[in-house]
Amino acid sequence: MNNETCIDPTALERIRGIGGDDLLTKMIALFIQNVEKRLREASEGKAAGDSEAVGRAAHSIKSSSGNVGAVRLQRIAQEIERLAMEGNIRRATDRIAELEGAFSEVKAHLTGKGEPSER
Amino acid sequence: MCAAKRVLICEDDADARLLIRSILRTNHFDVAGEAETGIQALNLFKETKPDIVLLDIQMPQGGGLTVLRFLREIDQKVRVILLTVDDSPHSVRTALKLGANDYVIKSSLTTPRFLQALQMEGVLQPEESAGGESSNPDEAPEEEAKSKAPKGPQRRMATTERRGDRRSGRR
Protein backbone atom coordinates (compact mmCIF):
# COMPACT_ATOMS: atom_id res chain seq x y z
CA MET A 1 0.00 0.00 0.00
CA ASN A 2 1.17 3.53 -0.56
CA ASN A 3 0.51 6.60 1.53
CA GLU A 4 -1.31 8.58 -1.12
CA THR A 5 -4.53 10.12 0.07
CA CYS A 6 -7.67 8.20 -0.84
CA ILE A 7 -9.99 11.15 -0.32
CA ASP A 8 -9.17 14.78 0.26
CA PRO A 9 -11.72 15.70 2.94
CA THR A 10 -11.65 19.38 2.02
CA ALA A 11 -13.31 18.56 -1.31
CA LEU A 12 -16.23 16.92 0.50
CA GLU A 13 -16.45 19.78 2.96
CA ARG A 14 -16.64 22.29 0.13
CA ILE A 15 -19.54 20.39 -1.42
CA ARG A 16 -21.25 20.25 1.96
CA GLY A 17 -20.69 23.98 2.33
CA ILE A 18 -22.54 24.63 -0.93
CA GLY A 19 -25.54 22.35 -0.52
CA GLY A 20 -25.31 20.64 2.83
CA ASP A 21 -25.57 16.91 3.43
CA ASP A 22 -28.28 16.58 0.81
CA LEU A 23 -26.01 17.75 -2.01
CA LEU A 24 -23.09 15.71 -0.70
CA THR A 25 -25.21 12.57 -0.60
CA LYS A 26 -26.44 13.10 -4.15
CA MET A 27 -22.95 13.92 -5.42
CA ILE A 28 -21.51 10.75 -3.93
CA ALA A 29 -24.33 8.66 -5.39
CA LEU A 30 -23.81 10.17 -8.85
CA PHE A 31 -20.05 9.79 -8.56
CA ILE A 32 -20.37 6.07 -7.80
CA GLN A 33 -22.92 5.59 -10.56
CA ASN A 34 -20.75 7.40 -13.10
CA VAL A 35 -17.48 5.68 -12.24
CA GLU A 36 -19.12 2.24 -12.31
CA LYS A 37 -20.51 3.04 -15.77
CA ARG A 38 -17.15 4.34 -17.01
CA LEU A 39 -15.31 1.31 -15.66
CA ARG A 40 -17.66 -0.88 -17.69
CA GLU A 41 -16.95 1.26 -20.76
CA ALA A 42 -13.19 0.98 -20.14
CA SER A 43 -13.47 -2.82 -19.95
CA GLU A 44 -15.52 -2.88 -23.14
CA GLY A 45 -12.92 -0.66 -24.79
CA LYS A 46 -10.20 -3.04 -23.67
CA ALA A 47 -12.07 -6.02 -25.12
CA ALA A 48 -12.58 -4.17 -28.41
CA GLY A 49 -9.01 -2.87 -28.55
CA ASP A 50 -10.45 0.66 -28.68
CA SER A 51 -7.93 2.99 -27.08
CA GLU A 52 -10.12 6.06 -27.62
CA ALA A 53 -12.97 4.48 -25.68
CA VAL A 54 -10.58 3.60 -22.87
CA GLY A 55 -9.24 7.16 -22.89
CA ARG A 56 -12.72 8.71 -22.81
CA ALA A 57 -13.76 6.51 -19.90
CA ALA A 58 -10.59 7.34 -17.99
CA HIS A 59 -11.11 11.04 -18.68
CA SER A 60 -14.58 10.96 -17.18
CA ILE A 61 -13.34 9.09 -14.11
CA LYS A 62 -10.55 11.63 -13.72
CA SER A 63 -13.08 14.45 -13.84
CA SER A 64 -15.57 12.92 -11.42
CA SER A 65 -12.79 11.97 -9.01
CA GLY A 66 -11.67 15.57 -8.87
CA ASN A 67 -15.13 16.67 -7.74
CA VAL A 68 -15.08 14.47 -4.64
CA GLY A 69 -11.36 14.71 -3.94
CA ALA A 70 -10.54 11.10 -4.84
CA VAL A 71 -6.89 11.92 -5.35
CA ARG A 72 -5.38 8.50 -6.05
CA LEU A 73 -8.22 7.43 -8.33
CA GLN A 74 -7.86 10.68 -10.26
CA ARG A 75 -4.12 10.18 -10.71
CA ILE A 76 -4.48 6.62 -11.99
CA ALA A 77 -7.28 7.64 -14.35
CA GLN A 78 -5.14 10.48 -15.65
CA GLU A 79 -2.25 8.13 -16.36
CA ILE A 80 -4.52 5.65 -18.14
CA GLU A 81 -6.05 8.44 -20.21
CA ARG A 82 -2.61 9.65 -21.26
CA LEU A 83 -1.47 6.16 -22.24
CA ALA A 84 -4.69 5.49 -24.14
CA MET A 85 -4.55 8.79 -26.01
CA GLU A 86 -0.96 8.02 -26.97
CA GLY A 87 -2.32 4.81 -28.50
CA ASN A 88 -0.56 2.64 -25.94
CA ILE A 89 -3.63 0.54 -25.27
CA ARG A 90 -1.86 -2.41 -23.71
CA ARG A 91 -0.14 -0.35 -21.03
CA ALA A 92 -3.36 1.59 -20.49
CA THR A 93 -5.58 -1.44 -20.09
CA ASP A 94 -3.02 -3.22 -17.92
CA ARG A 95 -3.87 -0.61 -15.31
CA ILE A 96 -7.64 -0.95 -15.35
CA ALA A 97 -7.49 -3.45 -12.49
CA GLU A 98 -5.53 -0.89 -10.47
CA LEU A 99 -8.20 1.69 -11.31
CA GLU A 100 -10.95 -0.67 -10.15
CA GLY A 101 -9.06 -1.31 -6.92
CA ALA A 102 -8.67 2.39 -6.23
CA PHE A 103 -12.37 2.95 -6.92
CA SER A 104 -13.36 0.15 -4.52
CA GLU A 105 -11.30 1.86 -1.85
CA VAL A 106 -12.90 5.24 -2.51
CA LYS A 107 -16.39 3.77 -2.61
CA ALA A 108 -15.85 1.99 0.71
CA HIS A 109 -14.54 5.21 2.21
CA LEU A 110 -17.47 7.28 0.99
CA THR A 111 -20.22 4.82 1.79
CA GLY A 112 -18.63 3.82 5.10
CA LYS A 113 -19.14 7.34 6.41
CA GLY A 114 -22.88 6.91 6.39
CA GLU A 115 -23.07 8.60 3.02
CA PRO A 116 -25.24 7.00 0.36
CA SER A 117 -25.25 3.26 0.14
CA GLU A 118 -24.76 1.31 -3.06
CA ARG A 119 -27.26 1.89 -5.74
CA MET B 1 -32.63 45.46 -9.50
CA CYS B 2 -30.71 43.45 -12.07
CA ALA B 3 -32.24 40.24 -13.36
CA ALA B 4 -30.31 37.11 -12.53
CA LYS B 5 -27.96 36.04 -15.28
CA ARG B 6 -29.04 32.92 -17.12
CA VAL B 7 -26.48 30.17 -17.53
CA LEU B 8 -26.48 27.26 -19.96
CA ILE B 9 -24.63 24.24 -18.54
CA CYS B 10 -22.99 22.01 -21.17
CA GLU B 11 -21.47 19.02 -19.40
CA ASP B 12 -21.89 15.30 -19.96
CA ASP B 13 -21.22 14.04 -16.43
CA ALA B 14 -24.30 14.14 -14.21
CA ASP B 15 -22.33 14.65 -11.00
CA ALA B 16 -20.59 17.73 -12.39
CA ARG B 17 -23.93 19.10 -13.64
CA LEU B 18 -25.47 18.67 -10.20
CA LEU B 19 -22.57 20.45 -8.56
CA ILE B 20 -22.64 23.32 -11.05
CA ARG B 21 -26.43 23.66 -10.80
CA SER B 22 -26.20 23.85 -7.00
CA ILE B 23 -23.46 26.46 -7.07
CA LEU B 24 -25.35 28.58 -9.58
CA ARG B 25 -28.60 28.52 -7.64
CA THR B 26 -26.86 29.24 -4.35
CA ASN B 27 -25.29 32.29 -5.96
CA HIS B 28 -28.47 33.62 -7.57
CA PHE B 29 -27.88 32.62 -11.16
CA ASP B 30 -30.68 31.08 -13.22
CA VAL B 31 -30.06 27.81 -15.04
CA ALA B 32 -31.22 28.36 -18.63
CA GLY B 33 -30.75 24.73 -19.57
CA GLU B 34 -28.51 21.68 -19.35
CA ALA B 35 -26.92 19.92 -22.30
CA GLU B 36 -25.13 16.58 -22.23
CA THR B 37 -23.76 16.63 -25.79
CA GLY B 38 -22.34 19.15 -28.19
CA ILE B 39 -25.40 19.01 -30.41
CA GLN B 40 -27.72 19.58 -27.46
CA ALA B 41 -25.54 22.49 -26.40
CA LEU B 42 -25.99 24.30 -29.71
CA ASN B 43 -29.70 23.57 -29.87
CA LEU B 44 -30.28 24.75 -26.32
CA PHE B 45 -28.18 27.82 -26.90
CA LYS B 46 -30.37 28.87 -29.80
CA GLU B 47 -33.50 28.07 -27.82
CA THR B 48 -32.64 29.70 -24.50
CA LYS B 49 -30.32 32.59 -25.44
CA PRO B 50 -28.37 32.47 -22.17
CA ASP B 51 -26.08 35.19 -20.79
CA ILE B 52 -23.32 32.74 -19.96
CA VAL B 53 -22.38 29.35 -21.41
CA LEU B 54 -20.41 26.85 -19.32
CA LEU B 55 -18.85 24.51 -21.84
CA ASP B 56 -17.15 21.24 -21.00
CA ILE B 57 -14.15 20.84 -23.23
CA GLN B 58 -14.79 17.12 -23.67
CA MET B 59 -18.34 16.06 -24.49
CA PRO B 60 -19.79 13.44 -26.81
CA GLN B 61 -21.22 14.50 -30.19
CA GLY B 62 -19.15 17.64 -30.36
CA GLY B 63 -16.58 18.60 -27.74
CA GLY B 64 -16.37 22.04 -26.22
CA LEU B 65 -13.93 23.44 -28.76
CA THR B 66 -16.09 22.32 -31.66
CA VAL B 67 -19.19 23.78 -30.03
CA LEU B 68 -17.31 26.99 -29.34
CA ARG B 69 -16.44 27.42 -33.02
CA PHE B 70 -20.08 27.06 -34.06
CA LEU B 71 -21.30 29.13 -31.16
CA ARG B 72 -19.08 32.06 -32.07
CA GLU B 73 -20.50 31.98 -35.58
CA ILE B 74 -23.95 32.45 -34.06
CA ASP B 75 -23.11 34.87 -31.25
CA GLN B 76 -19.86 36.80 -30.81
CA LYS B 77 -20.84 38.33 -27.50
CA VAL B 78 -22.21 35.74 -25.10
CA ARG B 79 -19.82 34.97 -22.25
CA VAL B 80 -18.34 31.49 -22.67
CA ILE B 81 -16.42 29.77 -19.89
CA LEU B 82 -14.66 26.54 -20.77
CA LEU B 83 -14.61 23.77 -18.19
CA THR B 84 -11.54 21.60 -18.30
CA VAL B 85 -10.07 18.88 -16.12
CA ASP B 86 -6.58 20.29 -16.33
CA ASP B 87 -4.92 23.48 -17.46
CA SER B 88 -3.08 22.01 -20.40
CA PRO B 89 -1.54 25.10 -22.04
CA HIS B 90 -2.41 23.78 -25.48
CA SER B 91 -6.14 23.37 -24.90
CA VAL B 92 -6.43 26.58 -22.90
CA ARG B 93 -4.68 28.65 -25.55
CA THR B 94 -6.79 27.10 -28.26
CA ALA B 95 -10.00 27.81 -26.35
CA LEU B 96 -9.07 31.44 -25.77
CA LYS B 97 -8.09 31.87 -29.39
CA LEU B 98 -11.43 30.46 -30.48
CA GLY B 99 -13.22 33.07 -28.42
CA ALA B 100 -13.72 31.62 -24.94
CA ASN B 101 -13.81 34.38 -22.34
CA ASP B 102 -12.31 32.31 -19.53
CA TYR B 103 -11.70 28.76 -18.39
CA VAL B 104 -12.13 26.96 -15.10
CA ILE B 105 -10.49 23.75 -13.99
CA LYS B 106 -13.23 21.42 -12.81
CA SER B 107 -11.58 20.67 -9.49
CA SER B 108 -11.93 24.43 -8.80
CA LEU B 109 -15.71 24.48 -9.23
CA THR B 110 -16.21 24.65 -5.47
CA THR B 111 -13.69 27.43 -5.00
CA PRO B 112 -14.07 31.20 -5.40
CA ARG B 113 -12.30 30.94 -8.76
CA PHE B 114 -15.47 29.62 -10.39
CA LEU B 115 -17.64 32.44 -9.09
CA GLN B 116 -15.01 34.92 -10.17
CA ALA B 117 -15.18 33.55 -13.70
CA LEU B 118 -18.98 33.79 -13.66
CA GLN B 119 -19.14 37.28 -12.26
CA MET B 120 -16.31 39.06 -13.96
CA GLU B 121 -16.69 40.92 -17.21
CA GLY B 122 -14.05 40.77 -19.85
CA VAL B 123 -11.75 38.21 -21.26
CA LEU B 124 -8.88 36.30 -19.80
CA GLN B 125 -5.82 37.23 -21.78
CA PRO B 126 -3.65 34.43 -23.15
CA GLU B 127 -0.69 35.51 -21.05
CA GLU B 128 -2.82 35.09 -17.92
CA SER B 129 -3.71 31.54 -18.83
CA ALA B 130 -2.23 28.10 -18.48
CA GLY B 131 -0.81 28.44 -15.03
CA GLY B 132 1.51 31.25 -15.95
CA GLU B 133 3.31 29.27 -18.58
CA SER B 134 4.42 30.90 -21.76
CA SER B 135 1.34 31.16 -23.88
CA ASN B 136 2.08 32.83 -27.14
CA PRO B 137 -1.19 32.48 -29.04
CA ASP B 138 0.67 31.98 -32.28
CA GLU B 139 2.04 28.70 -30.99
CA ALA B 140 -1.38 27.05 -31.09
CA PRO B 141 -1.37 24.59 -33.97
CA GLU B 142 -4.99 24.76 -35.06
CA GLU B 143 -5.19 26.53 -38.39
CA GLU B 144 -8.84 27.17 -37.79
CA ALA B 145 -8.02 28.84 -34.55
CA LYS B 146 -5.48 31.05 -36.26
CA SER B 147 -7.90 32.13 -38.92
CA LYS B 148 -10.80 32.95 -36.62
CA ALA B 149 -9.27 34.08 -33.39
CA PRO B 150 -9.46 37.69 -32.45
CA LYS B 151 -6.34 39.04 -30.79
CA GLY B 152 -6.44 40.13 -27.17
CA PRO B 153 -7.34 43.81 -27.71
CA GLN B 154 -10.08 42.82 -30.12
CA ARG B 155 -11.53 40.51 -27.50
CA ARG B 156 -11.49 43.33 -25.00
CA MET B 157 -13.37 45.42 -27.52
CA ALA B 158 -15.94 42.67 -27.90
CA THR B 159 -16.47 42.77 -24.17
CA THR B 160 -17.09 46.46 -24.20
CA GLU B 161 -19.59 46.01 -26.95
CA ARG B 162 -21.34 43.29 -24.98
CA ARG B 163 -21.78 45.62 -22.03
CA GLY B 164 -23.31 48.14 -24.37
CA ASP B 165 -25.65 45.55 -25.77
CA ARG B 166 -26.84 44.56 -22.34
CA ARG B 167 -27.55 48.16 -21.46
CA SER B 168 -29.55 48.52 -24.60
CA GLY B 169 -31.61 45.47 -23.70
CA ARG B 170 -30.25 42.98 -26.17
CA ARG B 171 -31.69 40.10 -24.11
Residues A7/A32, Cβ–Cβ less than 8 Å: no
Mutate to test the interface with B, among A7, A63, A65 (most CBs of B within 10 A): A63
CB pairs under 8 A between A and B: 53
User: Could you give the count of Cα atoms lying within 13 Å of B35 in the half-sphere of its Cβ?
Assistant: 31
Q: What is the pLDDT of residue A101?
A: 96
CB-based contact A18 B106, cutoff 8 Å? no
What are the beta bridge partners of residue B56?
B83
The Cα B119–Cα B63 span in angstroms is 24
Q: How large is the average pLDDT for residues B119-134?
A: 54
pLDDT recorded at residue B157: 30
Cross-strand partners of B54: B9, B81
- Whether residues A56 and B85 touch (CB distance < 8 A) is answered with no
**Chain B residues with CB-CB distance to A30 below 8 A:** 14-15, 18
> Collapsing DSSP states into helix, strand and coil, what is residue B9?
strand
- According to CATH, the superfamily of the domain at B6-126+137-167 is Response regulator (3.40.50.2300)
Q: Alpha-carbon distance B129 to B109, whole Å?
A: 17
**The pLDDT value given to residue B56:** 93
Residue B7's pLDDT is 97
> pLDDT per residue over A23-66, tens digit each?
999 999 999 999 999 999 999 999 999 999 999 999 999 999 99
Instruction: Compute CA A4 distance to the chain's CA centroid, rounded to the nearest angstrom.
Output: 15
Residues B138 and B44: their CA atoms lie apart, in Å, by 32
Digit-coded pLDDT (tens) for B4-60: 999 999 999 999 999 999 999 999 999 999 999 999 999 999 999 999 999 998 888
pLDDT interval class at A115 (50, 70, 90): very low
Nearest CA in chain B to A68: B107
- More confident of the two residues B19 and B87: B19
Given CB atoms, is A85 within the 8 Å cutoff of chain B?
no
Helices (H), B27-151: 38-48, 64-74, 89-97, 112-119, 143-148
For chain B, the structural domain boundaries read: 6-126+137-167
Q: Which residues of A touch B18 (CB under 8 A)?
A: 23, 26-27, 30
Q: What is the mean pLDDT of residues A101-112?
A: 94
The pLDDT of residue B88: 74
User: Mind listing the domains of chain A with CATH numbers?
Assistant: 22-111 (1.20.120)
In 3-state terms, what secondary structure has residue A73? helix
Find, among A74, A80, A76, the residue nearest to A92 by Cα. Answer: A80
